Structure 1
């Protein structure tokens, strides 16, 4: 439905999932996260789907967690509604990382915080050369969450991950491709077509694609601790930072 915040289109075995909340730059709310997970469940239930492209409407790929959601969580991060709401946002991009088909993120505009986690959760990224990729947690007074350090460093290494996640370096799509954060950097109007082209190759044999990507993920990452464990390491620290931020402001 056009008024849904997460859209699904299936074309030739490729599921195109579109974030559709441009008025808030596709920032994730608990409700949007739940809708996203439901769409991924639908994709997994369809044996005719062999790949997935994630894209977004508007000028931003994803601006991270919705500001009001973060503010509400900051009042008492351990309270049931806050805990569940932030958990839903974590679960959304983690679920993308577990979807049964190969995934390609088609990234235009800005990706910040949890929006970075969303694109990092994909198996492959095609980005606009003028995209703005920003970790942004510390600038907001927040500790990173969602296993951010693990899923970022597995792609670009410790040095570049430190530059972005700790020292606040922002990169564009061209630099992302140079660092290995993206497979290709293209003009914005070419990004989705290229992502669909790549996805269509895997989708030509959906059964093989599902088996291959499952083993690809087991064999290639993340290193050191698992993504799931990293999420649990980071969550208490992020909750503390939310509470501190609320008390300070």
Structure 2
């Protein structure tokens, strides 16, 4: 138990936990938006299931560190762009394209839907399809989260503890975040725009063009701050109403 007296252990745990929470914010937003398409009585269950799947995915990947790190090995070189293609880059590319495509479809549905019906003509999302979509994005976000954890801590228990604490915090506030976003449609559009930005970042990373996350998070924080000022100034005005998926 002497390792518990090492201040470096606690510093790495606190730092990693904070980073995991920051990295998980976009995951929570995406889960909230997807869950928001379900009937009201299924939304909380979908959010909780999605976050629990994220927790399981992260722990499984942490316990398979050797395999995770092997994803950074070069599989082949893309001749056109001279880019080294790895398992990680393939996952980031697929996940980034999925995130961009899904976010654009959500924006189109909210703004171009007719008479409250989804443009695709579907009768709303099913619980199973929503969970599958959440799981696919969990894998992408978990990979980034796990590689960050491996790079910051040496002890497996520190990584797992940080992930569990971070997911616990997100689970506790997921409902509040979801309700707040759903009450303010402009914030939902802003959140979807953020997800497109994150998708572009993932695609860029997969092609060897790293975009510092500090720029991404700063732009998000600045845009969010401006929107909060707008909401405060226009609190008495009639809010914008977006189309809702057909139930």
| Shorter-chain TM-score above 0.5 | no
Larger strand fraction of residues = 1
- In the superposition, the TM-score normalised over structure 1's length comes to 0.29
Higher relative contact order (CA 8 A, sep 6+): 2
Whose Rg is larger?
A: 2
Normalised to the residue count of structure 2, the TM-score between the two structures is 0.29
Higher helix residue share: 2
